[in-house]
Amino acid sequence: MVATAAASSFFPITSSPDSIDSKNKKLGNGSTNLGGIKLKPSASSGSLQVKANAQAPPKINGTTVVMTPVEGFTSEDAASSLPPRTFINQLPDWSMLLAAITTIFLAAEKQWMMLDWKPRRPDMLIDPFGIGRIVQDGLVFRQNFSIRSYEIGADRTASIETLMNHLQETAINHCKSAGLLGDGFGATPGMCKKNLIWVVTRMQVVVDRYPTWGDVVQVDTWVSASGKNGMRRDWLVSNSKTGEILTRASSVWVMMNKLTRRLSKIPEEVRGEIEPHFMNSDPVVAEDNRKLVKLDDSTAQYVRKGLTPRWSDLDVNQHVNNVKYVGWILESTPLGIVESHELCSMTLEYRRECGRDSVLQSLTAVSGVGNLGNMGEIECQHLLQLEEGSEIVRGRTQWRPKNAKSFGKMDQVPAQSA
């Protein structure tokens, strides 16, 4: 009964006079008992008189409803009192539905705002979404990275390319967080106006220990002046849980015009943008001033030819990403060294860029204290060049026996010098 009443309130149904007359004909002149209701034709006007048996007052939702009998209610009156049957007046009352939906959304929003997103365990990521922050008087940028399963190699440790990608990512994010990122990739607004970009000329990396799958590393980076027209960027990579220093790196960057592909001095406008962010500190890695030798076919012991860039190797400046050069240099490293030793130090000098149509070759010469026949440290000289002879990168790597103790320690971000 309640369902019928609710349905009728949303979808009113009217009856035409013809239908009422047809029902009267079916009922006939005699009295008919329909569930306790007797219908009898009226003697005066032919109207339908309704007489019900005495029953208890009906109840709807626990409330007694008093029903008043209607006398002299004719079919003509019913047809004239009800509005005409149209599509509009048959639509339900949507205000009730909208009110219910609004209530549900408000309750859900309240529950969402009451959620506490703070980590429940101390070993969880402090920076779970990889969004770094500025620390130490606004001069140091800090970002956390979790070592993923696809970033480790056969030794179950992160590859050197993974570490280099972390360094590059924090450098870009540092510029963005400091408000120095213009329309270019790592370029300030003043650099964008003059079509200038940063290019790395020298990189030194020292790896004390490689992180493993599941480790969370904390990368700190800051910038300093390097001569009159250069900038030095340092990185310090540590275990976010223990504080152990894992990797140290230092690099030198200069500006290049992306249209002419020539090096450029730092304009005064750009210098005013970047100098407030310089930290007056010493390099985190002591500079290795030893000259990097140039290899050729007669001095190189191992050569890998036919290296070509893929589309995914290019950056937004349309030249090969500098991290890719590291992988190409290691292509010619003897497999025996890679299997028994791990890379612990690397010095690179970037001579020129290469594009997607370049064909390169990687040359390596083994030197230093150790060699392939013993388990001492090994030093290798490297050259990455175009097949026609133009140099791309010169390099020197040092390798230590696997599981050997780390060499060199540095346990904190350097404080700014007076």
Domain containing 325 — which CATH number? Answer: 3.10.129.10
pLDDT score at 303:
95
Place of tokens 């200038």: 196
CA–CA dist 372, 341 (Å, integer): 10
Q: Same domain, yes or no, for 152 and 236?
A: yes
Q: Is 380 a domain residue?
A: yes
Q: Same domain, yes or no, for 205 and 240?
A: yes
Domain that residue 297 falls in: 288-404
pLDDT score at 182:
65
Q: Same domain, yes or no, for 281 and 395?
A: no
For 179: left if phi > 0, alpha if psi spans -120 to 50, otherwise beta; the answer is left
pLDDT score at 60:
52
User: Per the structure block, which two tokens stand in for 193?
Assistant: 């106006």
Question: Which residues are marked as active site?
Answer: 317, 319, 354
| Residue segments in the chain with a per-residue pLDDT below the cut of 50 | 1-54, 70-73, 78, 116-127, 129, 406-412, 416-418
pTM over 0.75, yes/no: no
pLDDT score at 44:
43
Q: Is 296 a domain residue?
A: yes
Q: Is 132 a domain residue?
A: yes
pLDDT score at 346:
96
pLDDT score at 385:
95
Rounded to 10 degrees, the C-alpha dihedral 118/123/124/127 comes to 90
pLDDT score at 31:
44
CA–CA dist 168, 160 (Å, integer): 12
Domain tally, the chain: 2
pLDDT score at 134:
85
Q: Please state, for a pLDDT cut of 90, what percent of the chain lies above it.
A: 43
Alpha helices in 156-236 (DSSP H): 160-177, 189-193
Q: Is 151 a domain residue?
A: yes
